[in-house]
Structure formats: structure tokens, C-alpha cells
Amino acid sequence: MIFTYDSGRYIYPGRATIRPAMDKTSKVIFSGTILAVVFAAVLTARGSFEPATGWNVSFMDGSMFISDSGQSHGGFEFTASYNVSVSPDHLSTKEQVHLSLALDVGLGDPLERHDLYLELSWQPETDSMQLRNSDVNISLVHVDNDTVWNKQYDGYYIASWGGDAPEEEMRGQISPLIFGLPEHYYIELRLKFFISLIN
């Protein structure tokens, strides 16, 4: 192939211009620019992957269901549903909260305890929520696919138990005795939270 030289450039007829290699000054400037870009990218990545120093928990919604059939769908048995609130509704983990229950639907209210004062903590390694005090231990697990109520409570933290409940209705840890109910009752506590990490 024949290249021609014109004004400091090598020309290949009919093709793009082929420029000569950069001189020493250009190389230094180019290398410095690349190093600066790489350094900035490393700093940005380091900030992005800093471990979380904590998290904020925001309460969004809650309910509880009970049935004296011992399972979620027990036919013509006594059932009741409760609205559940958690206050304060914006908090950090391992903070004292007030869990309050108010009857929503049901022929009578058999609960002996409607108010609990508990320490709330989120366990990121298991994505579970703990509610505890000296005599209460409730563990709610995050449910992505709620098969018990046909996806109605997808995304909730749920604890459920019943004396005659099938295995798929046993989630987390809870007891009807906490609320003064007979031991065989089915009980399901559902809480929805939004969790944001603090870097």
C-alpha cells in the first residue's frame, strides 16, 4: 500500500486519515485525564458500597385476623378482624413501639389485650421483624407471595399460627395466648413497613 504524507498527516487514498502517534506532552495530558476519571469512579463506587450504619422503619398498614377454628379458613366458625396501628410510625430499629388493636369486623371481641408496648427490630439477614418485651416474642417474616389469602397481603410481614392450621399457614412466631385467646385459636398478624437504609 502507498501512503502519502501531507502537512504532518499520513493519507491512505480513499480512506480515513491516519494520524501519527501523540507526542510526549499529549501523552502526559491524556494519561492524567484517564487517571482522574478512574480515581473519581473509584471514590463514587466506594461511597455506593459503604455498609449501612442503620435503617429507618416506616409503618404503613396493619391488621390481625383470628378464628376459633384453629385455621385460616375454617368454615362457619367465629372469626374477627382488627385494625392494627404502630406508633411512632417513623422509627429506627430497636425502638419502643405501641402496638394497638381495634375491632374492625366480628360478632364480639374476645381479646383481653388490645395494647402492647414492645421493642421493634428488623433483622436484615432474614428480612424478619421482631416485636418483644419481657413476656412477648413475636417474629414476623416478609411474605412476597401470600398464598393463604390469594396474594392480598403480598409484601407484608406476617406471623401466623393455629392449633389445626396446615404447615403453609404457620409463618414466623406468634401465640394466641399473647392476646388472652384460647390456645387453639388461629391468629394472623400482618404489618407493612417501608425500610430505608442509612449510609
Give me the mean pLDDT over the 56-82 stretch. Answer: 91
Domain boundaries, the chain: 4-48, 54-198
Interval 134-190: pLDDT, tens: 999 999 999 999 999 999 999 999 999 999 999 999 999 999 999 999 999 999 999
181 phi, psi to nearest 5 deg: -90, 160
What pLDDT shows up at residue 101? 98
Sign of CA dihedral 137, 51, 55, 141: negative
* Ranges 9-13, 15-19, 143-147, 194-198, most confident: 143-147
Note the pLDDT of residue 64.
98
48 SS3 class? helix
SS3 120: strand
Q: How confident is the model at residue 16 (pLDDT cuts 50, 70, 90)?
A: very low
* Residue pair 191/84 in contact by the 8 Å Cβ criterion: yes
Calculate Rg over the CA atoms of the chain: 31
pTM of the shown model? 0.72
* Range with the poorest average pLDDT among 48-62, 76-90, 126-140, 183-197: 48-62
Sign of CA dihedral 113, 152, 90, 159: positive
- Average pLDDT across the chain, whole number: 81
**With 60 as the cut, is the pLDDT of residue 120 above it?**
yes
Sign of CA dihedral 165, 124, 136, 150: negative
SS3 30: helix
pLDDT of residue 27: 53
